[in-house]
């Protein structure tokens, strides 16, 4: 099985192209199920999760053109993402099987669109994963509010709405990105008006909303906590460019902050990474918005100066993202003083802690908080993590650790980072896949 080998100690200089957001691309691909027209998605990243979603949609009967075949000559690390053309004109299977859903939790996003368009769907329960139990009760309750009959049988959600879904008020008890996306898609084809209260405001939810509007949906309040959807009888095809990945942007920003150097994150949008920038700036890193420049993006720079510990608490957007928590913890292991990092979204998202500790980090976990006391240096070691962002935090630690770090279970990284080792390698990191 592939591993990533890193020899720490070199600064990063150059340009890293930021790809389209995984967490926007996945719901957008599911949205193709809402219409028999062609949905053209631009800048789709080449990631394992995208291939998993493609497999799921194809078995429902969706035709997908433009996807690069596995084994096809790989484009350069700065090449734009793929353009996929999805056509759900011949959907013949309304069942999302366990074998595909268990690979990727975002598979549950086909539930709303299938039910809304075809009046029936059967989707395997995704189950928990390394970062938490992650139930889908809010998705189900919201669809029930729109008139769907749902029951769980033999591990499958069996959903029916023979006379179609009907708009209603849906009030989420707490913010859920996925549940907001599922109900947004379902409501676009429901009869009448749906008002979603306590809706997720994440940029990926807004991006999905913009695409649905381009497909003919009527939606107001995107990016606020109250979103109103007036349902349509049908939607049509559209073309949509996926927004840049704010977590990939933040991850490479942290890489530069840790390793030092000067890197342009080409295509990154400063407005999407404001909380990450704020933490980095307070820690002593220079982050420059180059939106208007010839090559737009965000420049990250640290030359010589030390880092200061900054406390962090994860929260729904616009708060600090849980998907950046592990990376920021890696940064704080080398900061002067202490940093308290509190995780409020997932109950088990500190799996990187024992591995970072193996590299010499000083971290104590108290419930949902981790107290990180900066150390003078980390030491390379063989490490392994059980989820995507925990894994990448170990790569980041490897960039500054003394000697060699070998990160196992690279398939976690391939879920969310396209050509990670090439992007970092081109900026001077000593990193390779072995």
Ligand X SMILES: CC(=O)N[C@H]1[C@@H](OP(=O)(O)OP(=O)(O)OC[C@H]2O[C@@H](n3ccc(=O)[nH]c3=O)[C@H](O)[C@@H]2O)O[C@H](CO)[C@@H](O)[C@@H]1O
Ligand Y SMILES: C=C(OP(=O)(O)O)C(=O)O
> For residues 176-235, which are near ligand Y according to CB under 6 A?
none
Measure the CA–CA gap between 192 and 211, rounded to whole angstroms: 20
- Tell me the HSE value of 380 on the side-chain side, using a 13 A CA sphere: 17
> Judged by CB under 6 A, does residue 116 bind ligand Y?
no
**Whole-angstrom distance, CA of residue 206 vs CA of residue 242:** 11
Length of the chain: 434
Q: CA distances (Å), 163 to each of 61, 119, 121, 336, in order?
A: 23, 7, 14, 62
Nearest position to ligand X, beta carbon:
178
- Give, as ranges, the residues between 159 and 178 that touch ligand X (CB under 6 A): 176-178
416 binding ligand Y? (CB under 6 A) = yes
Tokens encoding 374: 């900066």
Interaction partner, residue 99 (ligand X, ligand Y, none; CB < 5-8 Å by kind): none
Binding to ligand X (CB under 6 A) within 177-216 occurs at: 177-179, 204
Binder of residue 358, out of ligand X, ligand Y, none (CB less than 5 to 8 A by kind): none
* Residue 23 interacts with ligand X (CB under 6 A): yes or no: yes
Is 138 annotated as belonging to a binding site? yes
Q: Which residue from 89, 135, 192, 382 is in contact with ligand X, where contact means CB under 6 A? A: 135
Binding residues for ligand X restricted to 346-385, rule: CB under 6 A = 346
Annotated binding residue 97: no
- Options 85, 129, 338, 357, the catalytic residue: 129
For helices 22-31 and 246-259, give the axis angle rounded to 10 degrees.
170
Q: Using CA atoms, how far apart are residues 406 and 394, in angstroms rounded to an integer? A: 9
211 labelled catalytic: no
Has 136 been labeled as part of a binding site?
yes
Determine if residue 135 is labeled as part of a ligand binding site. yes
Given ligand X, ligand Y, none, residue 416, with its beta carbon under 5 to 8 Å by kind, binds: ligand Y
Residue 176 contacts residue 109 (beta carbons within 8 Å): no
23 annotated among ligand-binding-site residues: yes
Q: How far apart are CA 350 and CA 142, in angstroms?
A: 30
User: In what side-by-side order are the strands of the sheet with 369-373?
Assistant: 312-313, 338-342, 369-373, 362-366
Residue 132 CA to residue 111 CA, distance in Å, equals 21
Q: How far apart are CA 93 and CA 62, in angstroms?
A: 10
CB-nearer residue toward ligand X: 325 or 333: 325
The DSSP secondary-structure symbol of 238 reads E
Query: Does 388 contact ligand Y by CB under 6 A?
Result: yes
- Give the containing element (helix H, strand E) for 404: strand 404-408
Q: Indicate the SS3 state at residue 137.
A: helix
Q: Tell me which of 2, 65, 68, 137 binds ligand X, using CB under 6 A.
A: 137
- Per CB under 6 A, does 23 bind ligand Y? yes
CB of 405 to ligand Y, least distance (A): 21
To the nearest 10°, report the CA torsion of 92, 95, 100, 101.
Answer: 140
Cα 182 to Cα 28, 137, 191: the distances in Å are 11, 12, 16
Binding map of ligand X across residues 26-55, x = CB under 6 A, - = no contact: x-----------------------------
- Residue 388 touches which member of ligand X, ligand Y, none, C-beta under 5-8 Å by kind: ligand Y
Alpha-carbon distance 160 to 173, whole Å?
24
Is there a contact between 145 and 137 (Cβ–Cβ < 8 Å)?
no
Q: Which of 43, 207, 323, 421 binds ligand Y (CB under 6 A)?
A: 323
The count of chain residues that interact with ligand X, using the rule CB under 6 A, is 20
Q: Which of 51, 95, 134, 301 binds ligand X (CB under 6 A)?
A: 134
Positions at the binding site: 22-23, 105, 134-138, 323, 345
Residues annotated catalytic, as ranges: 129
Positions at the binding site for phosphoenolpyruvate: 22-23
Per CB under 6 A, residues contacting ligand X are 23, 26, 105-106, 132, 134-139, 176-179, 204, 322-323, 345-346
Positions at the binding site for UDP-N-acetyl-alpha-D-glucosamine: 105, 134-138, 323, 345
């Amino acid at each position: 099985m592939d591993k990533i080998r890193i020899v720490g100690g070199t600064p990063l200089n150059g340009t890293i192209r930021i790809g389209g957001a995984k967490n926007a691309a996945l719901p957008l691909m599911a949205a193709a199920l809402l219409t028999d027209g062609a949905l053209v998605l631009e800048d789709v990243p080449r990631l394992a999760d995208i291939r998993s979603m493609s497999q799921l949609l194809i078995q429902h009967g969706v035709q997908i053109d433009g996807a690069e075949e596995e084994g096809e000559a790989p484009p350069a690390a700065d090449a734009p993402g793929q353009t996929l053309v999805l056509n759900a004109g011949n959907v013949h299977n309304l069942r999302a099987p366990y074998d595909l859903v268990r690979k990727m939790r975002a598979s549950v996003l086909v539930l709303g669109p299938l039910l809304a368009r075809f009046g029936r769907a059967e989707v395997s329960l995704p189950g928990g994963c390394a970062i938490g139990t992650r139930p889908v009760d809010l998705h189900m309750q919201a669809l029930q509010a729109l008139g769907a009959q749902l029951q769980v049988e033999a591990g499958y959600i069996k959903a029916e709405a023979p006379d179609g879904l009907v708009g209603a008020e849906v009030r989420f008890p707490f913010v859920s990105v996925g549940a907001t996306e599922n109900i947004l898609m379902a409501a676009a084809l429901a009869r009448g008006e749906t008002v979603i209260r306590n809706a997720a405001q994440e940029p990926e939810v807004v991006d999905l909303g913009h695409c649905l509007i381009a497909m003919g949906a009527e939606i107001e309040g995107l990016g606020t906590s109250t979103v109103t959807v007036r349902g349509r009888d049908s939607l049509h095809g559209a073309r949509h460019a996926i927004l840049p990945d704010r977590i990939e942007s933040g991850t490479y920003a942290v890489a530069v902050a840790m390793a030092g150097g000067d890197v342009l994150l080409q295509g990154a949008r400063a407005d999407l990474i404001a909380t990450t920038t704020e933490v980095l700036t307070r820690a002593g890193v220079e982050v420059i918005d180059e939106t208007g420049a010839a090559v737009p993006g965000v420049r990250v720079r640290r030359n010589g100066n030390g880092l200061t510990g900054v406390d962090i608490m994860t929260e729904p957007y616009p708060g600090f993202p849980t998907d950046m928590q592990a990376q920021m913890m890696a940064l704080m292991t080398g900061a002067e003083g202490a940093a308290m990092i509190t995780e409020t979204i997932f109950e088990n998202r500190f799996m990187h802690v024992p591995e970072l500790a193996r590299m010499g980090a000083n971290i104590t976990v108290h419930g949902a908080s981790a107290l990180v006391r900066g150390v003078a240096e980390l030491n390379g070691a063989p490490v392994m993590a059980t989820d995507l962002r925990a894994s990448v935090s170990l790569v980041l630690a490897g960039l500054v650790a003394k000697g060699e770090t070998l990160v196992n279970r690279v398939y976690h990284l391939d879920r969310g980072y396209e050509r990670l080792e090439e992007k970092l390698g081109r900026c001077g990191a000593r990193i390779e896949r072995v």
